[in-house]
Structures are given as structure tokens and as C-alpha cells.
Amino acid sequence: MLQGKINIRNLSLEELLVHFSDLNEKSFRAKQVFEWLWKKNAHSFDEMTSLSKDLREKLDTTFFIDHITLQDQQISRDKTIKCAFSVDETKIIEGVLIPTSSRTTACISSQVGCSLSCTFCATGRLKLLRNLSAGEIFDQVVYLKNQAEQRYQTTLTNIVYMGMGEPLLNYKNVLQSIEHICSEQGLGMSPRRVTVSTAGIAKMIRKLGDDQVKFNLALSLHAANDEKRNKIMEINESNNLEELSDALQYFHEKTGSRVTFEYIIFKDFNDSIEDARELAQFAKCVPCKINIIEYNPIENGEFQQADARKVEDFALFLESKNLIVNVRRSRGKDIDAACGQLANRNKAISPEERILK
């Protein structure tokens, strides 16, 4: 933050109009600036060429524009792109572009680090340094969107808040970023193309319901009994499965939205038919679909990837209970870009070395 200056991207259009009135500037100028910030993604007032030089200088004395900077980029054999972005010049976050034949997804971060310490996740080993602003979250989407268009000649179809951090612990900025992503004054994406993933904070899931959000909600479940979930996710000790079930039902009643359950399947821990039976029972709490995700090993991790046959049997059991099930194959594992692997391991290497052939 620059001393005495206001982060202009923290202001709503209504708040910006008030500031422009105080500066004796016309309201349409505020709307022009808002468009430069969110539709054109300007990172400096000098870029706002439709404004007079005097106005740009006046804005520069009152405001600053927060933004992220690309520090490093790696491209996987499967075309997944992992980007390391710097914030505050010294802190690093990561975002991932995941292209497939049917969709192109941006996986973005909401915090610098994470406070939840899930045992299977590399990000959980990092300290939480701070929340990202709405603008810093938005910038990740814009950069990955541009990469999809320039490198793969495709549009960005989906956005998932599944990168570093717990989105519901940065509630205000996450919702503000989605507002700009989905607004016609921003990127104009449908909220149904956006999914926010949480490790499970019951009171904030209820707040999503109260706010009647239009985007999708995913719960990182990974175990459907409290004893096992406590072992791998500390958050479950204060937000147990019964509380989460009640919160999810409330969310569905308020929004009408189906919930996604994410279930990373670990060898000899949560991959048995009994585990599947518990998951099927829990899933009855709300209309849902289930994504079974193969585990991506992390350095010095205690878990291993489940056997392919057990994964298949697990999915078949759930399908026999009339549940919608998808088995997700991880992408970007060769550059530590897969689910649970984001942990600031980008290296300062040459562009040629970054593209893994």
C-alpha cells in the first residue's frame, strides 16, 4: 500500500462516484475509470488514455492500483500452465490454467498461503501471510484468460477458487472479485461458470445462502466420518459433518443450487466400499454431484495414490446409489500444478527449461 493513497480497486462504482464528486469531476469520468479498471484491466492511470493528463495526475496523487506481477511460468506436458505471481513484491501466489478438450479452466488463489493445515496439501504447510484483494484475485483470471486465448486460441470457460487459501476466510474480497468477473462492466462471465471450493466453514456456507449467491459451491470432503476427517483436516474439529450437513441444506434451500463434493481418494485410508457407503449416506443431505480426485503425492507426504481398481469400484458403488459421479484425473503433475501441490516451488529457470517436452 502506498502511504496515504487509496486502493481504487477496493471502491465500488457508487463509492468512486462520491470520490469524483469530491474532486469536482463529472460522474461519467468515474464510469470511464471503472471501465478501465475492470473491463480493460489497466494497472496504471497513464494507461487511461481517454482521460486528460491533468485528471490522470490528479488520480495518481489520490489513488493507487494494486496488481500482481508474473514472476515465473511453467508449461506441463499436458499443456497445463502454472503461473507464479508476486504480490507486495516479495510474496508469491500461484494460479493454473487447465485446458482440456471440453473446457478451459482457471484455478486461482484467494490467499497468500493457508491457515488450515490439511495434511495432504502442500499449500497447507505454508503460513497464511494475508488475504488477496479483489483486484489481485481478478488479475489472475485476466492473465490466465489471456493465456488461453493467445497460446491455445480458446476462451476461458470455467473459474475455480481451488488454488492457495480458503476462499470463505477471505469472504468479502472473494465475492467482490466474482462480482467483477461476472459483471458486464467486467469480464461478463456467467456465475454458473464459477465454483468456490471450501474446506468446510459452516457459518460462512450459511452466509453464502443468506447472500443468495449465484455461483457454484464445492465442499472438500475427503472423508465422510468425523474420525477420519479430523485426522486429515483440522477444520473438521470445529465444523463437523453434522454441522456441515445442516449448513449445506440451508445453502441449498436459499439458493436452489446443487453442491459438489470433492473427494480425494487415498490408498488404504478412504478407498474402501465402507468409505463409499458412508459418502453415499452423507451425500443424501443435499442434491449433489461427487468428484473423485486422484491423489497427487507431495514431498514427505504420508498418503499414496489409491489403486485404479479400487477407485473404479468406489465410483461404481456410488453410481449404484443413483449419485452423479465423476472421476477426475489430475493434470499438471509434472510441474506441481495438480490439486494439493501448489506450494511456491517455481524455480528461476530459463524459458526453454520451463516448457516440459
Q: Which letter does DSSP use for residue 287 in this model?
A: S
The pLDDT of residue 340 is 47
Given pLDDT bands bounded at 50, 70 and 90, which one contains residue 297? confident
pLDDT of the residue at 350: 32
Q: What percentage of the chain has pLDDT greater than the value 90?
A: 82
* pLDDT on residue 120: 86
Q: What structural domains does the chain harbor? A: 6-64 (1.10.150.530), 67-185+342-357 (3.20.20.70), 199-330 (3.20.20.70)
Alpha-carbon dihedral angle through residues 209, 255, 115, 67, given to the nearest 10 degrees: -100
Q: Is 305 helix (H, G, I), strand (E, B) or coil?
A: strand
Query: Which pLDDT value is given to residue 2?
Result: 61
From 114, 182, 288, 339, the catalytic residue: 339
Confidence of residue 141 (pLDDT cuts 50, 70, 90): very high
The pLDDT value given to residue 354: 34
Per-residue pLDDT for 344 more than 60? no
- Report the candidate in 113, 232, 224, 235 with the shortest Cα–Cα distance to residue 165: 113
Backbone angles phi, psi at 2, to 5 degrees: -85, 135
Among 17-21, 147-151, 304-308, 348-352, the minimum mean pLDDT is found in: 348-352
Whether the pLDDT of residue 114 is over 60: the answer is: yes
pLDDT above 70 coverage of the chain, percent: 91
- For 321, which DSSP code? T
pLDDT: which is higher, 176 or 333: 176
- 227 in catalytic set: no
Q: Is the pLDDT of residue 183 over 80?
A: yes
Within 8 A by CB and 6+ apart from 352, the residues are none
Distance separating alpha carbons of residues 135 and 160, to the nearest angstrom? 16
Judge whether residue 187 has pLDDT over 60.
Answer: yes
Residue 338 scores a pLDDT above 60: no
What is the mean pLDDT of the segment spanning 104-128? 88
Q: What is the pLDDT of residues 234-291, one digit of tens each?
A: 999 999 999 999 999 999 999 999 999 999 999 999 999 999 999 999 999 999 999 9
Which residue out of 14, 57, 94, 253 is catalytically annotated?
94
Distance from the Cα of residue 188 to its chain's centroid: 18
Integer Cα distance of 196 and 207 in angstroms: 14
Residue 285 is among the residues annotated as catalytic for this protein: no
Cα-Cα-Cα-Cα dihedral sign, residues 166, 172, 175, 177: negative
Buried residues in 88-101 as b, exposed as e (16+ CB within 10 A): eeeebbbbbbbbee
Q: Taking 70 as the threshold, does the pLDDT of residue 347 lie above it?
A: no
Cβ(218)–Cβ(262) below 8 Å: yes
Q: Measured between alpha carbons, how far is 219 from 259 in angstroms, rounded to an integer? A: 7
Tell me, what's the pLDDT at 36? 98
